[in-house]
């Protein structure tokens, strides 16, 4: 069995996923970079990992596709010899006012739940035997939307609330071999919100620290949960500048 430490970060072409991948690379982890659409951005993430002296594998997969997820996990283990950390960052949303219930069509619900919830579950399920073998851990990137019922849409908030519950269920089921935690960011200044600055500004008006998170802010906490502590499990750590106090 390889002694090299290995991490898989889903949705790591840009934003939080890229920041987490680069931070883990700086700690010496070999990284599988996953993307579904943004190939050029994902290639840039891989280049950044290699510049940091770590090995990288690029694997395109929609996490809502269980077969593709299983192939990604197996390819990671084949390439690097095992798996120590899974970071479930891949997600999607639609920006739909919460009062627009008719806007929550079946297609909207299905896409958001398939990626955000089922995709997270598929990755956890496929990775679990390998994580158990290495006493590894999972970090799910959730959202304060799943804590406060806020965010881009009701369907998105519901999906992230479910991720929070999934985190706790898996933490109970697979302790002590595998720790499972989540980070729940508030608004993060990424391209996801680039066309919705009004939402960010409105949120900051009621945020004590008066600024949105950066990807590095969230990576700080994700990497701490993954590689900086050994006694935290089943926790959903809110990183929102104090907005939900």
**Beta carbons of 144 and 243 less than 8 angstroms apart:** yes
**What is the rounded CA–CA span in Å between residue 150 and residue 203?**
10
| Average pLDDT score over the chain | 95
- pLDDT at residue 204, as a whole number: 80
User: What is the C-alpha separation between 193 and 216, in angstroms, rounded?
Assistant: 16
Write the DSSP symbol of residue 114. I
Q: Is 94 assigned a catalytic role?
A: no
Q: Is the peptide bond before 4 cis (omega within 30 degrees of 0)?
A: no
> Per-residue pLDDT tens for 79-91?
999 999 999 999 9
**Per-residue DSSP letter, 14:** S
Question: Alpha helix locations (H) across the chain?
Answer: 15-26, 39-51, 66-80, 106-112, 119-134, 145-148, 154-174, 197-205, 215-227
Whether 212 shows a pLDDT value over 60: the answer reads yes
pTM, to two decimals: 0.95
Catalytic-role residue among 35, 94, 122, 156: 156
| CA dist., res. 165 & res. 146, Å (int) | 10
Q: Which domains does the chain have, with CATH numbers?
A: 6-186+216-238 (3.40.50.720)
């Amino acid at each position: 069995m390889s002694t090299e430490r290995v991490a898989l970060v889903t949705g790591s072409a840009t934003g939080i996923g890229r920041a987490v991948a680069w931070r883990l690379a700086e700690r010496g982890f070999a990284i599988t970079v996953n993307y579904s659409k943004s190939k050029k951005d994902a290639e840039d993430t891989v280049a950044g990992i290699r510049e940091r002296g770590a090995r990288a594998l690029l694997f395109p997969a929609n996490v809502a596709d269980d077969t593709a997820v299983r192939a990604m996990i197996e390819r990671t283990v084949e390439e690097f010899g095992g798996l120590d950390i899974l970071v479930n960052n891949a997600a999607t949303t639609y920006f739909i006012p919460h009062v627009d219930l008719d806007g929550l069509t079946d297609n909207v619900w299905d896409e958001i739940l398939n990626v955000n919830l089922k995709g997270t579950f598929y990755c956890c399920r496929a990775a679990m035997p390998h994580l158990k073998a290495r006493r590894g851990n999972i970090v799910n990137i959730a959202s304060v939307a799943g804590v406060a019922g806020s965010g881009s849409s009701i369907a998105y908030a519901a999906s992230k609330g479910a991720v929070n519950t999934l985190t706790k269920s898996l933490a109970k089921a697979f302790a002590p071999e595998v720790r499972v935690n989540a980070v729940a960011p508030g608004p993060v200044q990424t391209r996801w919100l680039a066309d919705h600055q009004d939402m960010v500004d409105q949120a900051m008006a009621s945020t004590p620290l008066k600024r949105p998170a950066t990807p590095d802010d969230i990576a700080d906490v994700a990497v701490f949960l993954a590689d900086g502590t050994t006694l935290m499990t089943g926790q959903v750590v809110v990183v929102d500048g104090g907005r939900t106090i």
